[in-house]
Amino acid sequence: MTAHAVEAVTGTTADELLMPARDSFYDAPRGLQKMAPGEIIRSRRVELKDYWASHHRSQAWQLLYRSTDLHGDAGVAATTVVLPRKPAPPGRFMLLSFQCAIDAVSTQCFPSYALRKGADAIRTIAPFEFLVVRRALAKGWAVSIPDHEGMLGAWGAPREPGYRTLDGIRAALSFPHHEMPADTPVGLWGYSGGGMATSWAAEVAPTYAPELNLIGAVLGSPVGDMASALMRLNGGLHAGLPVMAIAGLRRVYPQLERAILEHATEKGRRHLEEIARLPVLDAVRQFRNHDIDDYLDIPLADLLAQPDIVEMMDDLQLGTHAPEIPLLVVQAVHDEVIAVDDVDGQVARYREHGVPVTYVRDQLSEHYSLLPLSGPMAVGWLLDRLKGRPPRDRTVTAVAGQRRPRWTMRLTGRGRSVESVTASDGGQRPAA
């Protein structure tokens, strides 16, 4: 922490809970550009929801901090830091940065709002993912849950989700209330849109935050190829996701905004403005089977073929920078949202850079079940990294959860191709 003092803020009651777009806690201070990335601006104690069977009652704080956007400019972001009721002993303690699948432009979906008691968050994803976060808290780990999209909600943007994730870690480590040493081991984990953000954090860490003691990253269904996903999902049941991505990306790419102004119909512009206000589950429901071709006066394929849009899509490509930490990548072969071929490509690019990747291509699950099913294995894999066990580069083809006293892997076959993995979380069945 530098010379700027941490500004404490009194939390609001549930009746007064405001979304981040209207909450003064998120206001940027003067002199933001002069602050260091990750420097805390203000903090507040918050109360989280009691999620179904989870009466965790863990202490939680929200930190607003200085971060960096896609263009290198200073901006603010928030993270929710959750402390375990009983911290793990030295050598077993870590800080986990869990990146939620925000997958929306509206601040209603930001974890710092959606996780709070009294929030109108039933149509957001973060509360469901918190059931997986509980596995880390049960291990005695602290957890940082950043609003990795920043205040613009630029879902799909490259690199800046990584900057905000890493700056959230910096803020969590420097916060004086819980006194975590600067060299505390840190793991990264995220799924779907959160897996994409985690990928960016792992890729930009060597140059943006080399001082952090990162030990490994779990990338769950991390999109792989945004351009491919946009074309494949368009017109189908999940068509709201590419429409949402366009609504987010137009906020950070001037060339996309110009293309929209030039080629979008009045109906198309109206839909993009509407979806930017919706929580993700409403957006998916209301925009199912929408065809972006109907929003434009030229075919979507022709728009994507324009040189400045091609340049933008190339900028979104994951796997172009080499992480310096081992990776666990988890992807369902029969995923109806993220194509396994796209994630295959992302893994191949990492391996070409010499990054050790444990790649789980699960044959039995699909997009929505894989996160809870793979949770025990993800925690076990991170625990192995914490214990200093060397990672192995390999591909496995199934994940199955069973009651076992500890996380185990049963491997058959030779080389990278292995037939099965069995995982458990110390006696708890994966959440269904």
Instruction: List the 95-99 sheet strands across, edge first.
Output: 7-8, 40-46, 60-68, 74-82, 142-146, 95-99, 186-191, 214-220, 327-332, 357-362, 394-396, 417-418
Tokens describing residue 274: 């509407």
So what's the pLDDT on residue 10?
Answer: 47
The helix (H) or strand (E) run that includes residue 61 is strand 60-68
How many residues are listed for the chain in this entry?
Answer: 432
Q: Are 118 and 154 in contact (CB under 8 A)?
A: no
For residue 112, the one-letter residue type is S
So what's the pLDDT on residue 256?
Answer: 96
CA angle at 60 for the pair 283 and 7, rounded to the nearest 5°: 100
First to last CA, the chain: 41
Alpha carbons within 13 angstroms on the beta-carbon side of residue 244 total 28
The helix (H) or strand (E) run that includes residue 394 is strand 394-396
pLDDT by 10s per residue, the chain, length 432: 343 445 665 444 444 699 999 999 999 999 999 999 999 999 999 999 876 544 557 899 999 999 999 999 999 999 999 999 999 998 899 999 999 999 999 999 999 999 999 999 989 999 999 989 999 999 999 999 999 999 999 999 999 999 999 999 999 999 998 889 999 999 999 999 999 999 999 999 999 999 999 999 999 999 999 888 988 999 999 999 999 999 999 999 999 999 999 999 999 999 999 999 999 999 999 999 999 999 999 998 899 899 999 999 999 999 999 999 999 999 999 999 999 999 999 999 999 999 999 999 999 999 999 999 999 999 999 999 999 999 999 999 887 643 333 433 333 343 343 333 433 333 333 332
CB contact set of 1 (below 8 Å; sequence gap of 6+): 39, 40, 174, 176
Strands (E), 137-226: 142-146, 186-191, 214-220
CB contact set of 80 (below 8 Å; sequence gap of 6+): 46, 48, 60, 61, 62, 111, 112, 115, 144, 145, 146
Indicate the pTM of the whole model.
0.89
Active-site residue set: 192, 335, 367
Indicate the SS3 state at residue 24.
helix
So what's the pLDDT on residue 400?
Answer: 61
Backbone angles phi, psi at 418, to 5 degrees: -125, 150
**What domains are defined for the chain?**
7-224+323-388 (3.40.50.1820), 226-315 (1.10.260.130)
So what's the pLDDT on residue 334?
Answer: 95
Burial class (CB in 10 A: 0-12, 13-18, 19+), 414: exposed
* DSSP assignment letter at 92: T
So what's the pLDDT on residue 8?
Answer: 60
* DSSP assignment letter at 26: G
Burial class (CB in 10 A: 0-12, 13-18, 19+), 138: middle
